[in-house]
Amino acid sequence: MQLPLGLRCARCALSVAVRQEARDRGAFPHRAACDGPSQLVHLRATVTTGGWGAVPLCCRSRPYSSTCPGPASSCIPHTRKVLMQTTLKRGLALTAGLTLAFGLAACSSTPAAEETPAGEAPAAEAPATEGTFAKDENTIVFATLPDHEGAEQDAQPIADWIAEITGKNVELYQATDYTAVVQGLASDKIDVAQISAFTYYQTQAAGGEIEPIGAQITEEGAEPGYFSVAIKNPAATDVASLADFADQPICFVNPTSTSGFAVPMGGLLDAGVTVAEENRLFGEEHDLNAAKVAEGVDCQVGFAQDVDADPLIEAGELEEVDRVQVPAAPIVMQSALPQDVKDQLTAAIADSTQESLTDAGIELNDFLKESWFGFGKVDDAYYDLIRTLCTEIADEVEACRA
Question: pLDDT, tens digit, for every residue of 263-306?
Answer: 999 999 999 999 999 999 998 889 999 999 999 999 999 999 99
Compute the Cα dihedral for 155, 158, 162, 163 and give only its sign.
Answer: positive
Strands (E), 43-155: 139-144
- Burial readout 7-25 (b: 16 or more C-beta within 10 A, e: otherwise): bbbeebbebbeebeeeeee
Quote the pLDDT of residue 129.
67
The DSSP code for 7 is G
| pLDDT score for 402 | 62
Distance CA(396)–CA(402), nearest Å, equals 12
77: helix, coil or strand?
Answer: coil
Half-sphere exposure of 58 (CA within 13 A, CB side): 21
Going from the C-alpha of 210 to that of each of 123, 200, 330, 388, the distances in angstroms are 34, 8, 11, 19
Cβ contacts of 128 within 8 Å, gap of 6 or more: 339, 340
**Strand ranges across the sheet with 210-216:** 169-172, 139-144, 192-194, 330-334, 210-216, 375-376
Give every CB contact of residue 99 below 8 A, 6+ residues apart in sequence. none
φ, ψ for residue 341, nearest 5 deg: -70, -45
Name, in order, each residue with C-beta under 8 angstroms of 250's C-beta and a sequence gap of 6 or more: 268, 275, 279, 280, 281, 299, 301, 302, 303
Do residues 145 and 181 lie in contact, with contact meaning Cβ atoms separated by under 8 Å?
yes
Quick check: 263 and 64 in contact, CB under 8 A?
yes
Instruction: Say whether 322 sits in a helix, a strand or coil.
Output: strand
pLDDT in tens, 8-40: 333 333 333 434 444 444 433 333 333 333 333
In this structure, are residues 309 and 231 in contact, taking their beta carbons and an 8 Å threshold?
yes
The confidence score (pLDDT) of residue 118 equals 52
CATH 2.40.160.40 fits 149-223+328-400, yes or no: no
pLDDT at 148: 78
Give dist(CA 399, CA 178) in Å, integer: 11
Q: What is the pLDDT of residues 69-100, one digit of tens each?
A: 333 333 333 333 333 343 334 443 434 443 43
Question: In CATH terms, are 149-223+328-400 and 232-323 the same topology?
Answer: yes
CA distance 372 to 224: 10
Q: Are 374 and 354 in contact (CB under 8 A)?
A: yes
The ranges assigned to domains in the chain are 149-223+328-400, 232-323
- Residue 208 to residue 188: CA distance in whole angstroms: 8
Q: What is the pLDDT of residue 178?
A: 87
Residue 158: what pLDDT?
96
Q: Give the chain's residues under pLDDT 50.
A: 1-117, 119, 121-128
Residue 366 CB burial class (10 angstroms; 0-12, 13-18, ≥19): exposed
Architecture of domain 232-323: 3-Layer(aba) Sandwich (3.40)
Strand partners, 216: 375
